[in-house]
Structure 1
Amino acid sequence: MTNLTVPGLLTFTISIVVFFLGAGINNMIPQLKRWNIPQAVTGGLLASVATLLAYRLFDVSISFELGARDMLLLYFFTGLGLNARLSDLLAGGRTLAILLGVTLVYLVIQNIIAIGSVRLLNLPEGLAVFLGSASLMGGHGTTIAWAPVVAERFNLNNALEVGMAVATLGLVLASLVGGPVAGRLIARYKLSGPVEDAPVIGLPDQSGQQGDDLNHVSLLRTILVLNAAILIGLGVWELVDELGIRMPSFVVCLLVAIVLTNTVPRLLPRLQWPTRTRSLSLLSDLSLNIFLSMSLMSMQLWTLGGLGPALVLVLVFQTLATVIYIVFVVFPAMGRTYNAAVISAGFTGVALGATPTAIANMTAVTKTHGAAPIAFIILPLVSAFFLDLANVVAISFMIR
């Protein structure tokens, strides 16, 4: 076996090539674009299949250095925060509360499905943790954090491998399901976004030059504000961590950016602030797409080979349950509006994948059908902050 590690700069470069590969395939296959499959997902999945073939055919294990990926995540979520106007937050308060409620209910349902599936298929009891919210709603980070505890509690030597495999498959399923579900809801209820508003992330697929503020000065100004917000956010994150409050650094940067964007322009009205500018949309889109390309192309699919049909069957159950819950609970609870359809696209990422996957699904929808700024603010707060806290309680209960 030959182990090949791709260095950081080359990884970053390959991820850009992977994105363009996905964009080209989406253009050649209209169904992918119609189903709102992100370009980075298409290219990333193909790249991961290529590394799988290298492993199977040539006995070469390829891994990537992913240091740049964490920074891209900070840029992306800080950009979301800089776009969050207080008026939008106030308007979305009720929506946030409803979304939080339906998400917490589904967390319980997802774990019930996991426990029932493990008993039905006669799988080891401890696997229920990683077939439920720990790996699916929690993702790779939660899986890594809880794997040693689960392994010791249930004497499962392969707890980490199973959890990572489930989290990886969930990420793929969320990427493939979210866009088509939202597209079907939009078509069925004849919904559309406001035509006068540009997407919060990225530029419209058929963007014109109206009020174009996109130039090297605006980009540098936006990067400067992003960097300042990230530096402040990381400082606050360290203080919060010292107090024993555990939350991801990107959530703190998101919250800090929200505070800054609703105070600094009021205190310094002559300062040019990047909220809702094309430059911020472009940088957010770039960060998200390269992050997603890196995440998907670095999946080591050969580690899934030992899962067995039983575990795959459970993931099919979970995916079907997610789609049914979205159609009959999430979408109606959100009001059957265009924003509800966009949130429905993101909910697949919340339930099966990760917050960036949820945002990528919503971005693909809004580029085609119009802006939905409230969705991009409330969903990350639910999935990356409140849900993490609830998941800790749920996992602790399951491993008792």
Structure 2
Amino acid sequence: MIVEVSTLTTLLLAMVVLFVGKLINRQVSFFRNYDIPEPVTGGLFVSIIIAILHMRGISFSFDSELSSALLLAFYSSIGLSARLSTLIQGGRALMVFLGLLIVLLLLQDFMGITIASMLGLDPVVGLIAGSISLTGGHGTAIAWAPQLQEAFGVENAVELGAVAATFGLVLGGFTGGPLAERLIRKYKLKSNSKEHITIGSRFNEEHELIDAQSTMFALFMIVLAMVLGSYISDYASSNGLFLPEFVGCLFAGILITNLLPLIVPRLQWSGATPSLAMISDVSLGLFLAMSLMAMKLWELAAMAGPLLVILAVQTVMILLFVYFIVFRVMGKDYDAAVMSSGFVGIGLGATSNAMANMTAVTQHYGASLKSFVVVPLAGAFFVDIANSVVLQLFMDMLN
């Protein structure tokens, strides 16, 4: 029996997932102390219940109509929080971070192909369990499946990619925070920023006044960035440049928050406000909750074995790479620790996973504005272009 879940009911269940995650993190100190994102905790718990119901013959089909709008709202709020001074400071860090991501793409594909060959599998399976699904996520895995089927005859490329991407999404959420926690405690790192954190609010802090007027104005700015972002993406596409809509919203937010005070000096808009952070937190939480509660864990069980061996090796590899290389190259400071958690999120899931990891860390230890500029810019746009080039390189080698 398949239960069709409407848009509003999907939203209601996503809220339940968030409340469950908050309850678990509040009751289980491990999840709270090691900065496991609440949507990941609640999403995995609910997806296990859904998997049990599936085994009893009850399946669910969730409506994802609101999911894309929440993602656009989230990236718009990130752009609105980015001041020009922070962007200038993050310029060099962005290039270095992107360079490290390109190295990771090469390592993931090389490692996947090597382990698959050692296990007697088709090397293409290792490529699927590499940067296609891990750094690329579900969208990239689905997008590349037809080409893999045509070039290599891999008939179950979609299923393999979905399993690998799901595995990465879960592991990325459960390992990024603890890794940053380890780095922060070992090197006694502290946030030097006096700004309000980009998403949500810190644990156990007194909340600044969030009234109806400030919330309405922040919401207006987000919707304005979403509308402008859609026009930016459409214009880029009409001129032969594929620009995902959420990247357009990110750029639109950056333009608005930096140009608006110059155009209308009397307008009181500082960018990173508590109201904006609250809306951003809710948008990201609901988006992740919708994504995670819709996971089909039974597909993991159905395709376990050698594929999971490859994914386990990939997970260990990226954690070692981030701990010993990324953290040190990025400056070995608090911002580097926060970006390290984001790096794990990108390498084992998606940019939204990275943002959830960094949100959990900053709610615990304080703001890191540079991280919330560098990571989404690198992970939301540039890495997809680099991944396409790297994947084509390895596909040519396998041919």
Contact 1:167 1:353 in 2 (8 A): yes
Q: Structure 2: how far apart are the matches of 1:109 and 1:253? A: 31
- SS of alignment partner, residue 133 of structure 1: helix
Counterpart CA distance in 1 for 2:202 and 2:237 is: 39
Quote the Cα distance in structure 1 between the aligned partners of 2:373 and 2:33.
Answer: 25
Shifted more, 300-309 versus 215-224: the winner is 300-309
Structure 2 residue corresponding to 1:391, chosen from 357, 362, 387: 387
Deviation at 1:194, TM superposition (A): 3.1
* Code of the aligned partner of 1:135: S
Indicate yes or no: 2:361 matched with 1:365: yes
Q: Residue 343 of structure 1: CA displacement?
A: 0.4
Q: Deviations over 1:158-193 (max 9, x none)?
A: 110000110011000000000100000000000111
Q: Which digits, 9 at most, give the CA deviation of each residue in 1:254-274, with x for residues without a partner?
A: 012111211111110112325
Cα 1:195–1:377 change in 2 (3 A) is closer
Match of 1:55 in 2: 54
Within-5 A mapping of 1:201-280 = 201-210=199-208, 212=209, 214-273=210-269, 275-280=271-276
What amino acid maps onto 1:40 in structure 2? P
TM-score (norm: length of structure 1) = 0.97
When structure 1 is superposed on structure 2, of 189-198 and 83-92 the one drifting more is 189-198
Alignment of 1:284-323 (within 5 A): 284-323=280-319
1:39 equivalent in structure 2: 38
> C-alpha offsets along residues 57-87 of structure 1, whole Å, 9 cap, x if unaligned?
x211212111101000000000000010000
Q: Give the Cα separation in 2 of the matches to 1:209 and 1:227.
A: 24
- SS where residue 62 of structure 1 aligns? strand
Q: Deviations over 1:264-309 (max 9, x none)?
A: 1111011232511110000000001111111100101112222131
Aligned twin of 1:5: 4
CA distance in 2: counterparts of 1:6 and 1:124, whole angstroms: 38
Q: Match for residue 121 of structure 1?
A: 119
Q: Would the aligned equivalents of 2:233 and 2:242 in 1 still touch at CA under 8 Å? A: no
Relative to 1, partners in 2 of residues 1:54 and 1:101: Cα closer, same or farther, differing over 3 Å?
Answer: same
Cα deviation for residue 129 of structure 1 reads: 2.4
Pairwise CA distance, 1:229: 1.2
CA distance in 2, matches of 1:173, 1:31: 16
Contact 1:82 1:274 survives alignment (8 Å)? no
CA distance in 2, matches of 1:281, 1:94: 26
CA contact (8 A) 1:110 1:132 kept: yes
Report the Cα offset of residue 197 of structure 1: 2.8
1:362: Cα distance to partner?
0.3
Aligned length: 396
Please, what TM-score do these two structures have when normalized by structure 2? 0.97
Counterpart of 2:12, as a letter, is: T
Per-residue Cα deviation, 1:344-387 (whole angstroms, up to 9, x for no partner): 11111111110000000000000010100010011111111111
> Is 2:137 the counterpart of 1:149?
no
For residue 184 of structure 2, what is the aligned residue in structure 1?
186
Note if contact 2:195-2:272 (Cα within 8 Å) is conserved in structure 1: no
* Offset, 1:126: 2.1
Paired AA for residue 394 in structure 2? M
Deviating above 4 A after TM superposition, structure 1's stretches of 4 or more consecutive aligned residues are: none
State the 1:195 CA deviation. Answer: 6.6
- Contact 1:171–1:354 (Cα < 8 Å) also in 2: yes
| Residue of structure 1 aligned with 2:132, choices 113, 131, 134 | 134
Q: Distance in 2 between matches of 1:234 and 1:139?
A: 22
Q: How much has 1:128 moved relative to structure 2?
A: 2.5
Separation in 1, partners of 2:75, 2:214: 19
Whole-angstrom CA distance in 2 between matches of 1:171 and 1:302: 15
Name the aligned partner's letter for residue 159 of structure 2.
E
- 1:264, 1:247 → 2: CA distance? 24
Matched residues in 2 for 1:92 and 1:229: separation? 22
One-letter amino acid matched to 1:185: L
Q: Quick one: which of 86, 89, 108 aligns to 2:87? A: 89
Q: Is residue 345 of structure 1 aligned with residue 341 of structure 2?
A: yes
Deviations 1:20-41 (A, max 9, x none): 1111111111111001001111
1:78, 1:257 within 8 Å by CA — same for their partners in 2?
A: yes
1:196 deviation in Å? 3.2
On the 8 A contact 2:193/2:368 being kept in 1, the answer is: no
Listed as ranges, the gaps of 5+ residues in structure 2 are: none
Mapped to 1, the partners of 2:207 and 2:347 lie a distance apart of 38
Structure 1: how far apart are the matches of 2:304 and 2:280?
38
AA partner of residue 385 (structure 1): F
- For residue 172 of structure 1, the aligned residue among 170, 173, 182 is 170
Checking the alignment, whether the CA contact within 8 Å between 2:145 and 2:158 is kept in structure 1 is yes
The answer to whether the aligner puts 1:335 opposite 2:334 as a matched pair is no
Residue 231 of structure 1, CA deviation: 0.5
CA distance in 1, matches of 2:49, 2:270: 39
The aligned amino acid for 1:65 is: D
RMSD: 1.1
Q: Which amino acid aligns with 1:175?
A: G
In the alignment, the residues of structure 2 paired with residue 73 and residue 171 of structure 1 have an alpha-carbon distance, to the nearest angstrom, of 16
Equivalent position amino acid for 1:167 in 2? A
Task: Tell me by how many angstroms 1:209 deviates.
Answer: 4.3
Shift in CA distance, 321/346, structure 1 to aligned 2, threshold 3 Å: same
